[in-house]
């Protein structure tokens, strides 16, 4: 019986029972991104060293193992980015569902970032060959996004339950603004997708209005959103989504596409 239990495959999902709990890594819900902080920031994207962060050589995905054998610059850079990833549940959940994609979560708070790293290390150990396509980095996205990502290198960007910063004087700290959308558009590839979800209707309207008023973004149709394979993960399969459902709250969700840069006719 003991040998049969040992050979039983580990369930490939982040919703696995182990002793690590985010209660042990509690942090303040709010952080001022306008303050200077102590961050280890590369001078340019080529100095990030993504190969050291992802575990590609032992990945179960043949696509990732093939990428690990290549030496070209940019081969191992992440395509999916979770902005303000919190405790990292979204990427941990999507890791095995989309094993050929490299994903990185960015979080400004130190304690949640520590939890993300501990969780993904534990998942890699308990499910060898899986979860090597995900990692997390502590940084201030408002200031250092372009230090990590080349122009047009990101395929998907996620904004899940960002800090609403309710007070009007703090709206400039919101993670979606016209100025920041220009930064996001720079690192997003043409046709890349931006996912936004929140339980605060006013914040959803704020983000949606700015995305729709920006010349480089357009909202997907309801049919396109319904057929998007990533939508259920962003909308329904995160720790925050579970909290909202438990409290019988509402979830406001949409997806926007990054449009190609406009053609400039020379005289």
- Report, as residue numbers or ranges, the catalytic residues: 163
- How many helices (H) and strands (E) are present in the chain, helices listed first? 11, 7
List the structure tokens of 5.
Answer: 């239990």
Burial (CB < 10 A; 0-12, 13-18, 19+), residue 154, is buried
Which runs of E-coded beta strand occur in 49-187?
80-83, 103-107, 134-138, 154-160
Closest CA to 231 of 206, 188, 197, 190: 197
Residues in contact with 135: Cβ distance below 8 Å, sequence separation at least 6, in sequence order:
53, 54, 78, 103, 104, 105, 120
User: Are 229 and 193 contacting, i.e. CB atoms less than 8 angstroms apart?
Assistant: no
List the structure tokens of 93.
Answer: 């959940």
Residues in contact with 186: Cβ distance below 8 Å, sequence separation at least 6, in sequence order:
146, 151, 152
């Amino acid at each position: 019986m003991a040998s049969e239990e040992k050979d039983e495959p580990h369930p490939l999902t982040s919703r696995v029972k182990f002793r690590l709990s985010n209660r042990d890594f509690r942090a303040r819900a709010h952080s001022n991104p306008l303050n200077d902080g102590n961050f280890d920031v590369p001078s340019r994207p080529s100095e990030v060293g993504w190969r050291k962060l992802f575990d590609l050589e032992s990945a179960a995905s043949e696509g990732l193992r093939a990428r690990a054998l290549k030496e070209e610059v940019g081969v191992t850079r992440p395509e999916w980015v979770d902005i303000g990833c919190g405790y990292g549940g979204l990427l941990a959940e999507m890791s095995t569902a989309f094993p050929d994609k490299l994903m990185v979560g960015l979080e400004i708070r130190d304690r949640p970032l520590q939890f993300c790293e501990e969780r993904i290390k534990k998942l890699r150990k308990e499910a060898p060959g899986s979860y090597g396509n995900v990692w997390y980095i502590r940084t201030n996205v408002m200031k250092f996004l372009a230090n990590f990502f080349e122009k047009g290198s990101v395929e998907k960007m996620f904004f899940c339950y960002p800090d609403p910063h309710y007070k009007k004087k703090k709206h400039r700290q919101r993670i979606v603004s016209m100025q920041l959308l220009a930064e996001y558009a720079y690192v997003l590839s043409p046709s890349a997708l931006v996912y936004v979800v929140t339980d605060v209707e006013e914040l959803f309207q704020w983000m949606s209005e700015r995305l729709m008023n920006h010349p480089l973004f357009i909202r997907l149709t309801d049919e396109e959103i319904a057929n998007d394979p990533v939508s259920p993960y962003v909308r329904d399969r995160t720790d925050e989504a579970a909290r909202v459902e438990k409290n019988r709250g509402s979830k406001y969700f949409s997806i926007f596409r990054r449009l190609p840069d406009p053609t400039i006719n020379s005289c």
